[in-house]
Structure 1
Amino acid sequence: MEPQDSNPHRRLKVFGALAVAVVGIGLAAVLVMTSRMPESQIATPKPPSVEVQIAEATQHTYRIQSQGTSLPRTSIRLVSEVSGRVVSVAESFDAGQVFAKDDVLLTVDPRDYELALTQAKAQVAQAELRLLTEINEAEIVRREWQLLKQEEPTGLQAREPQLATARAALEAARATEEAAKRNLDRCEIRAPFDGMVAKANVRPGQFVALAAPLGELFTTDVAEVRLPLASSDLAFINLPSPGADTALGQAPRVTLSTRVGGQRSEWQGHLVRSEETVDPVNRMVYVVAQVTDPFGLAKRTGPALRSGTFVRASIEGRTVENAVVLPRQALRGKNRVWIVSEESTLQRWLGYRVPGQPSRLAFRSVNVSFADADVVVVAGGIQAGERVITSLLAGVIDGMAVKVRELDSTDE
């Protein structure tokens, strides 16, 4: 009885599965018949976006970049002109201390030289006495000779050799006295100029010999910086002529700068001369810039330009008119720029233009008169108002389509 009761249920399950399958097949057929095939589309490449700068003819002042080390204009080694024991040293005679001209920096024991001066004065007195004696004796001889010979005596009869010897002895004694005075004065070693002590080698009680080094001094009124320049850079600077007396205010101005601890310091100077020789090693010409009062001792303002400081220099050069100045990145290679044009290369060749066409990139050869790390000065090849591409692009082709992103005029 149980098998007979399950047969109707089996039949219902089979019929249900077949019905679902038929409906699914029917729906699939309907979808296939009513669907449309996708249309193939060719992707249109977008032109790269570029930044441009409008070329303008403006007045431009060349600025030549260089670098060098600040050094004092005058630096000397102080030596002893006498020998003896150092009895005193001034407080200003120490490294980094400032002194004035004729200040006594140190003193050597003067007693031996005082004795030598006393002896020299005694020799002078003896020589003067001898000369007076010879003069009196010569006068007596002259009178006696006139009484006997009725004529003036000459040569040995007038004691001329004895007088000459006495006069020479007096001059020698006076020279010895002068030398003794000078040696006594040299016991006080004085500053030859206003300046600063770079090094002090002696202290009180130390014995110094003749010509022994005592220290090093340098001036503080002017600092100098030797700046190397390429020979091609000299054409953009109004260098003072050799031997010409050029006022400091008329010399080319130089801005010296350095950065220490994140802070930038600047000093203003002038280009005073050129060494007028080409260095055989680096083929550079050195010019000299001067900075007045580098330590700020007179004005007591601004940072000190210490000796040995490495500085970067920006030299103000000549001023030219109608120059096209562009950013350095606008120059491609040595003498090429990219211009935004409304015509393609083929249209330029054929001499017509199709309205509505996208902007095109065009190669342009230019005449570059000056270029440094920041700007390039173009003397020819670009017309005022043309748009120069300043963006960096890869795979550039002459005549390719570009999209101008932003316009900016030359503003130096």
Structure 2
Amino acid sequence: MQFLRRSLIGIFLLALTLALFAWAGNTVRLAVQDRMNAEPRSFPQRERVLSVNVVTVTPQTIAPELVVFGELGSTNTFDLRALSSGTVLEISPNFVDGGRVQSGELIVKIDPRDAQSFRDRTAADLRDAQSEVRDAERALVIERDELAAANQQVDLRQQALTRQNDLVTRGVGTAAAVETAELALSGANQAVLSRRQAQADAQARLDQAATGLDRAQLNLADADRGVADTEIRAPFSGTLAEVNISQGVRVTANERLGELVEKDNLEVSFRLSTVQYARLAGADGALGDAAVTVTLEAQDLTLTASGQITRESANVGEGQTGRLLFARLDTAVGLRPGDFVTVTVTEPELRGVAMVPSTAIGSGSSALMLAEGNRLEDVAVVVLRRQGDDVIIRAPALYGQQIVAERSPLLGAGIAVQPIDPNAEAVAPQPPEMITLDDDRRARLIAFVEGSRMPPPVQARVIGQLEQDEVPADVVEDLETRMGT
């Protein structure tokens, strides 16, 4: 009996368990059917609106600027070299690195004794040459007188021969006398030839003496220059650099003693790319006198100088590219040769262009324009120049329109945005629109808020607004949108 009772109880519990499983399954089936047959609850989707900074594209005339790096140099430098060899006797107190000398100032004097001795010997040679010229002139005068006397003898001998011929014609003369007169005339003519030869020799001697005198004068001029070369004077006012001698040192001819730099007349050399050079030169290829500004920044100090482009290098240079240009500076206070500076070159003006932030232009040279309904439109632009953080563009379709100042991957054509113009005047906010609720509508809204998952502080604030006589319209619209009504 006990076994039968326990078996019946087990069968009863099993049947009860199966019944409970069947009831639970039916309950789940009915719930799923009700859920599937119920009208779906829909919530209206709102478009996401992004806030963006915008700028207004304004056409204007802009003179672009090229910013490159350059090196300063002096337009007037002079290597001080010893023109003669010898021992350095005197040195100017200013002949040191950084020393300031004036034009014509004696800065180095070399021992002049050897040069002076050579000059004295050359002067003695000149006096000998002058004496030889005087002797040659006197000899030439004597020879001319002797030639004149010989010519007189010829005339006399001719007269004597004529007289003997007359006597023979009258029958009182002899042939021997005529022959003697002819021989005498021939001897006189021979004497004239000898005197003429002597005169030619005297003239040649005088010419040689004159040549010797000229040579002696040239030698004396060279000797005088050699004496003058023992004194080195400053050819212009400037500052000394790389001085490498001292008093008592023996120097050789053409030895470098230092360098004289005129630091007040500076120029800057800088290199432009071929494209930059073409833009600066223009269609005619002439650089003109484009203005440049040189800037040297040293901690909190900024040195600035202005100037104009004066010339360009004739060739590119081995291993180089672009073009090397030179500009002469008008004023260069505080700047020195060798300074590495920033050079700003002003290009010719561009008309009908606009300057916008570089972040407003995409990689495809396009900008996002604020179209109707605050929706974005992609517009192509022509990028002409880049000026630091800005770009100069030409886009007639954008003139007078607003574009996005800072593009991001979230922005594109057709997206609605909320424009923010940092340059626009601040506008006072409009007060919110207020509406009056009836009791049923107010109760439904309060019940929805109490049953929502809002944080308690937010629930309390919203319920406080709903309990007022007038409630903000945007709050009511937001709550009803969530409720699906």
Q: Could you tell me the TM-score, scaled by structure 1's length?
A: 0.76
Q: Is the 8 A contact 1:61 1:319 kept in 2?
A: yes
- 2:353 and 2:198 mapped to 1: Cα distance? 92
**Among residues 40, 65, 68, which one is paired with 1:66 in the alignment?**
68
Please tell me whether residue 306 in structure 1 is matched to residue 306 in structure 2. Answer: no
SS at match of 1:143: helix
Equivalent residue for 2:360? Answer: 330
Q: Is the 8 A contact 1:365 1:381 kept in 2?
A: no
What is the 5 A alignment of 1:7-26?
A: none
Please tell me whether residue 213 in structure 1 is matched to residue 256 in structure 2. Answer: yes
Structure 1 letter corresponding to 2:125: Q
SS at match of 1:202: coil
Q: Kindly state the Cα deviation for residue 176 of structure 1 after the two structures are TM-superposed.
A: 1.2
C-alpha RMSD of matched pairs (Å):
2.7
- 1:135 and 1:238 mapped to 2: Cα distance? 71
SS at match of 1:312: strand
Q: Kindly state the Cα deviation for residue 242 of structure 1 after the two structures are TM-superposed.
A: 9.4
SS at match of 2:313: strand
Equivalent residue for 2:148? Answer: 146
Say which is worse superposed, 367-376 or 51-60, in terms of deviation.
367-376
Structure 1 letter corresponding to 2:238: G
Q: Is the 8 A contact 2:270 2:326 kept in 1?
A: yes
Q: Kindly state the Cα deviation for residue 293 of structure 1 after the two structures are TM-superposed.
A: 4.7
Unaligned runs of 5+ in 2: 1-40, 153-191, 425-485
Equivalent residue for 2:455? Answer: none
What is the 5 A alignment of 1:9-408?
A: 44=46, 46-149=48-151, 157-158=199-200, 159-237=202-280, 251-279=289-317, 281-294=319-332, 296=333, 304-333=334-363, 335-342=365-372, 357=373, 359-408=374-423
Q: Is the 8 A contact 2:377 2:413 kept in 1?
A: yes
Q: Percent identity?
A: 21
- 1:282 and 1:337 mapped to 2: Cα distance? 37
- 1:238 and 1:201 mapped to 2: Cα distance? 44
Q: Kindly state the Cα deviation for residue 276 of structure 1 after the two structures are TM-superposed.
A: 5.0
Structure 2 letter corresponding to 1:399: G
- 1:328 and 1:258 mapped to 2: Cα distance? 26
SS at match of 2:115: helix
- 1:255 and 1:224 mapped to 2: Cα distance? 11
SS at match of 2:378: strand
Structure 2 letter corresponding to 1:99: V
- 2:56 and 2:261 mapped to 1: Cα distance? 53
Q: Is the 8 A contact 2:64 2:387 kept in 1?
A: no
Structure 1 letter corresponding to 2:95: F
The 3 A distance-change label for structure 1 pair 155 and 48 is farther
The 3 A distance-change label for structure 1 pair 276 and 326 is farther
Q: Is the 8 A contact 2:309 2:327 kept in 1?
A: yes
The 3 A distance-change label for structure 1 pair 305 and 381 is same
- 1:116 and 1:334 mapped to 2: Cα distance? 82
* Greater share of residues in strand: 1
Equivalent residue for 1:346? Answer: none
- Give the greater-gyration-radius structure (CA): 2
* Greater share of residues in helix: 2
- 2:139 and 2:364 mapped to 1: Cα distance? 97
Q: Kindly state the Cα deviation for residue 208 of structure 1 after the two structures are TM-superposed.
A: 0.3
Q: Is the 8 A contact 1:58 1:323 kept in 2?
A: yes
Unaligned runs of 5+ in 1: 1-38, 297-303, 343-356
Q: Could you tell me the TM-score, scaled by structure 2's length?
A: 0.65
- 2:364 and 2:138 mapped to 1: Cα distance? 96
The 3 A distance-change label for structure 1 pair 41 and 106 is farther
SS at match of 1:382: helix
SS at match of 1:95: coil
Cα deviation code 1:69-93 (max 9, x no counterpart): 1111232322111011111111221
The 3 A distance-change label for structure 1 pair 198 and 243 is farther
Q: How many residues of Structure 1 are paired with residues of Structure 2 in the alignment?
A: 343
- 1:339 and 1:206 mapped to 2: Cα distance? 79
- 2:413 and 2:238 mapped to 1: Cα distance? 64
- 1:292 and 1:100 mapped to 2: Cα distance? 22
- 2:410 and 2:286 mapped to 1: Cα distance? 55
- 1:130 and 1:93 mapped to 2: Cα distance? 48
